[in-house]
Amino acid sequence: MKTTLTAIKGTKDILPSEARLWQKAEAVCREIFEAYGYREIRTPIIEPTELFVKGTGETTDIVTKEMYTFKDKGGRSITLRPEYTPSVVRAIIEHRLYLQPSLLRFYYFGPMFRHDRPQKGRYRQFHQVDIEVFGESDPAVDAEILEMADYLLDRLQIKDKELLINSVGCPICRPRYLTFLRQEAEKLKSCLCLDCQRRVELNPLRLFDCKEPVCQETNQALPKIMDHLCSDCQTHFDDLRRWLDFYGLSYRLEPRLVRGLDYYTRTTFEIISPGLGAQKALLGGGRYDHLMKLYGGPDICGIGFAMGLERVLTLAKIIPDEEKSIYLAYLGEKSKERCLRLCRDLRRQGFSSFLEYKDRGLKEQLGRANKLGVNWTIILGEDELAKGVGQIKEMASGAQKAVPLEQIIAILKILKRGEKNWPK
Ligand code: HAM
């Protein structure tokens, strides 16, 4: 039986027609991140499994259910990264980047892997744009990254968005709150799904991550961490709100926003867009002041967010930069040689130019140029070659002009700038 090979469920090809949009979105992100002082960092896709078990959290859904983990040939447990934050923290410690005078602000683009049930907006291989800031504990930086996220989404022409914020406390106030939460959740245990019944004992904060309708309803009756913050966490949160007002950013308090990952302290946030349907988080993040220390590094706080590119691109109203391309049509060996030389020179001047190697007549080549949607065709038949000229044909208007071969590049440069009149 003949089998057809297809992409793995939950993964997708990004075809050339879409890739332009991805490049444009990435260019906008890059430009903004660089302007805000971030620099690119690239880390491996595979990491030791314990990096995520320890950082993301051993009782989180990501670690218990969603990781792509395998043993390599040396018997070591390897995981395809499900998120990026642990990797960047590891890299900072490993390369002692905190000893350098440069800003500890990083950005990153790349694929992540989570074995969840695929649905609209949820993939098993998806792409995140991620930013992280280290060593800044002032809540003004929490607001600054949200201001940057807001500006970024504006630049990507995403208007339909809402910022949700919460605080998940710190190692001083959270244990007290968790004890109380566990007590209250015990009373409602019979109303919870089996996973959540286990969570009550193991990690009750994760009760708020559950998507089961019965659990979501029951969770409404559970105590909110925001009502149990210590005075330092309360002050941090109040100051964050003050800075958000300073930037004129509107937001909604979401006391159940605990974000599914164990490392968060204090600020957590998401920007959602109702236009996305069930998977409506465009980006999510928060503060993680103890992760670096947990990994055996120095006591340096961190905060960041990651944005899902697939989700962003379903809403972004950006238009890829217009391409200007040139087709070279030739006839016979001599003309082919001249066209190849011209094509090479055009490419070196930044023109997207090409010719095809099939044995076709000039008319047929013009037909191809038309189909390919190029801006100009250079026609170099036997007559033209004998006269040392080439015809430049502007495909949109059909206008055509013979110009000396050595002037072709200069003339195309003028035409590329969009000057209407054909140069004399
Ligand atoms: P996260 O909320 O798990 O956070 O993911 C961030 C974003 O990635 C989500 O808001 C969503 O847009 C996208 N995303 C997540 N899972 C999927 C999926 N299966 N398919 C498509 N898109 C998805 C983190 O990953 C944290 N590391 C963020 C962070 C950075 N916190 C601090 N620094």
| pLDDT for the residue 88 | 98
Check if 12 has its Cβ closer than 6 Å to any atom of ligand 1.
no
Give percent of the chain above pLDDT 70.
99
The predicted pLDDT at position 3 comes to 78
Any atom of ligand 1 within 6 Å of the Cβ of 127: no
Please tell me the predicted confidence (pLDDT) of residue 420.
62
Q: pLDDT (tens digit, 9 = 90+) per residue, 46-86?
A: 999 999 999 999 999 999 999 999 999 999 999 999 999 99
Q: Give the confidence band of 140 by pLDDT, cuts at 50, 70, 90.
A: very high
**Interstrand relation of 389-394 and 400-404 (parallel, antiparallel or unpaired):** antiparallel
- pLDDT of 45 reads 98
**3-class SS at 125?**
strand
Residues 337 and 160: beta-carbon distance below 8 Å: no
When pLDDT is averaged across residues 240-265 and rounded to a whole number, the result is 96
* pTM confidence score: 0.94
Residue 313 has pLDDT above 70, yes or no: yes
pLDDT of residue 348: 97
- Furthest-apart CA atoms within the chain: distance in Å: 94
Q: Are 311 and 276 in contact (CB under 8 A)?
A: yes
The whole-number pLDDT of residue 227 equals 95
Average pLDDT for 288-292 = 98
What backbone phi and psi angles, to 5 degrees, belong to 295? -85, 5
For 371-416, the pLDDT digits (tens) are: 999 999 999 999 999 999 999 999 999 999 999 999 999 999 999 9
User: What pLDDT is attached to residue 323?
Assistant: 85
Angle at CA 146, nearest 5°, toward 158 and 27? 55
pLDDT in tens, 167-221: 999 999 999 999 999 999 999 999 999 999 999 998 999 999 888 899 999 999 9
pLDDT at residue 279 tops 70 = yes
**First-to-final CA distance of the chain:** 65
Ligand 1 atom at minimum distance from 83 CA: 25
Q: Tell me if 286 CB under 6 Å of ligand 1.
A: yes
Alpha helix locations (H) across 36-69? 49-55, 61
CA atoms 367, 369, 370, 372: torsion sign: positive
Residue 307 β-bridge partners: 129, 283
The tokens 């996973």 sit on which residue? 195
Please indicate whether residue 55, judged by its CB atom, sits closer than 6 Å to ligand 1. Answer: no
Is the pLDDT confidence value at 424 over 80? no
Query: For the segment 296-308, what is each residue's pLDDT rounded down to a tens digit?
Result: 999 999 999 999 9
Q: pLDDT per residue over 322-346, tens digit each? A: 889 999 999 999 999 999 999 999 9
Residue 421 confidence class, pLDDT cut points 50, 70, 90: low
pLDDT in tens, 100-117: 999 999 999 999 999 999
User: What is the DSSP secondary-structure string of 174-235?
Assistant: HHHHHHHHHHHHHHTGGGS-HHHHHHHHH-GGGGGG---HHHHHHHTTSPPGGGG--HHHHH
| Mutational test site, ligand 1, from 9, 43, 83, 108, max ligand atoms within 8 Å of CB | 83
Residue 128: pLDDT over 70: yes
Residue 1: pLDDT band (50, 70, 90) is low
| Confidence grade of residue 422 (pLDDT, cut at 50, 70, 90) | low
For residue 209 and ligand 1, the question of a CB distance below 6 A is answered with no
Average pLDDT, the chain: 95
403 close to ligand 1 (CB < 6 Angstrom): no
Q: What is the mean pLDDT of residues 124-138?
A: 98
Which ligand 1 atom is the nearest neighbour of the CA of 62?
Answer: 3
Q: What whole-number distance in Å separates Cα of residue 39 and Cα of residue 132?
A: 10
